Chain A
Amino acid sequence: MAIVSRGFHGRRDAAAADLPPGQYLTRDFPVLAAGPTPRIRLENWRFSIVDEHGRTHEWTWQDLLALPSERPTVDLHCVTKWSKLQTTWEGVSLDTLFAAVDTSAAYALVTAYGGYTTNLPMADLRDGKAWIVHRYDGKDLAPEHGGPARLLVPHLYLWKSAKWVQSIRLSNQDVQGFWESVGYHNYGDPWREQRYAGD
């Protein structure tokens, strides 16, 4: 049972009533990253999926843009407590990318330009739940928000949506990523408030 904080009244935001536990609503778009923002030239940009047999499937920027595009509108929940509702993105569903990949792997390790990594089950990347997005709010995705392209997996805390995404390595072994290996939750479901290991 929580203890009452003497003299604390808080501010009940009607729009925040439906947020996951412990989250508050923001209308701007905070930036979080563990290091400098990498700068990636589009002509050098590659995205690859490496399956559990070691086979590499690679896309150039032109390849990505040539694929069917979707425009998801989703809510974002960051483990640092802010949530942002109804954000609009444009990109390619991972279902579309996985169509070219013959895999039965259970886990994915995502790597970003700059070296960031994060892990998640394959099931969370499939069935319309994840995208490689390159536009936000009708504009090209800014570098500090992960441009030219980032992963978007909005049903998990935002650290799973790797900015500057470079590759996804598939495996039947779950390998922990950057935050997962320093105390953050392995799965990160905001609705179950899985912020830190053991939550």
Chain B
Amino acid sequence: MVAGLPWLIGTVVDTRQETATARTLVFDVPGWTGHLPGQHVDLRLTADDGYSTQRSYSMGAPADGTRVELTVQRVIDGEVSPYLTDEVRAGDQLELRGPIGGWFVWRPSVTDPVLLIAGGSGVVPLMAMLRAHTLSGSTAPLTLLYSVRTPADVLYAAELDAMSGRHQDVDVRILYSREKPAGIERKPQRLGSDDVLGAGWRPRPDSRVYICGPTGFVEAAANLLVLHGQPESTVRTERFGPTGR
């Protein structure tokens, strides 16, 4: 019989505002047994009258003892995300369990080339992979294509900026879809063939592709790669619907 995933109590030890509408919550979770980059947790919220609801959130950082980091994008009219982005503060306790998801994961021991494609807040689980890559000293060639509406929407902006160019095996490209900063030539548009090929990517059966974002974005990106000859079995996807996560 399987041991199962118990509900644990996480204490918020830190919060970081990532953008005007997204925040990282850092929890200390006694009993946490670690996770792989790309996995997520279930969070359970309970009101004082006993009403309770659950949501899943991706972890943005690789395993680090009993620390769990979630980055939450506020969903307009959401029931849970505004509470997490606006109300929660250090010292608060929430219930969570995990890690969940054994498919959309990247292990630093794998040396095959990695292509990460993020749409909006879909960058969160991919950031855990990128951070794990850096921390482990992996030499697997890694490319992150991060499609985002405007410069103000970029999660982890300073860290991504510092990462690109510092490691010869890491190539981070932020692709603006609606509004670009000054000095960027690419005109704002959706992710296209030019972006993928321009990053030097070519289809190969030993590479791993991870795509995370809203449904339409993931559909388009996955179709694009398959169209260019990337074997379907090497493309792993994680989608969130218009309801958000």
Contact = CB atoms under 8 A, between A and B. Distances in A.
A33 B239 contact: yes
B5 interface: yes
Majority secondary structure, B binding face: mixed
Given A7-B87, A8-B45, A114-B232, A81 B5 contact: no
Contact of B233 (A9, A82, A115): A115
Interface stretch (A22-30, A54-62, A69-77): A22-30
A199 B92 contact: no
Contact of A38 (B3, B53, B232, B241): B232
Given A5-B93, A197-B4, 10 more contacts: A5-B83, A30-B240, A30-B242, A30-B243, A37-B219, A80-B56, A144-B219, A178-B103, A183-B101, A197-B2
6 closest A-B pairs by CB: A198-B4, A30-B241, A182-B102, A197-B2, A36-B222, A198-B2
Interface in A26-53: 26, 28-38
B134 interface: no
Contact of B215 (A2, A4, A144, A179): A144
B102 A183 contact: yes
Nearest to A197: B2
Nearest to B237: A35
B2 A30 contact: no
A5 B100 contact: no
Q: What band does the interface of chain B fall in when counting residues whose beta carbon is under 8 Å from A? A: 35 or more
B94 A198 contact: no
A169 to B, nearest CB: 20
A33 B237 contact: yes
B241 A10 contact: no
B100 A28 contact: no
Interface in A129-184: 144, 178-179, 182-183
Contact of B4 (A32, A144, A196): A196
A5 B7 CA distance: 14
Majority secondary structure, A binding face: loop
Contacts of B47: 4-5, 8-10
B32 interface: no
Interface string A1-24: 011111111111000000000101
A98 B104 CA distance: 35
B207 to A, nearest CB: 14
Contacts of B237: 33-36
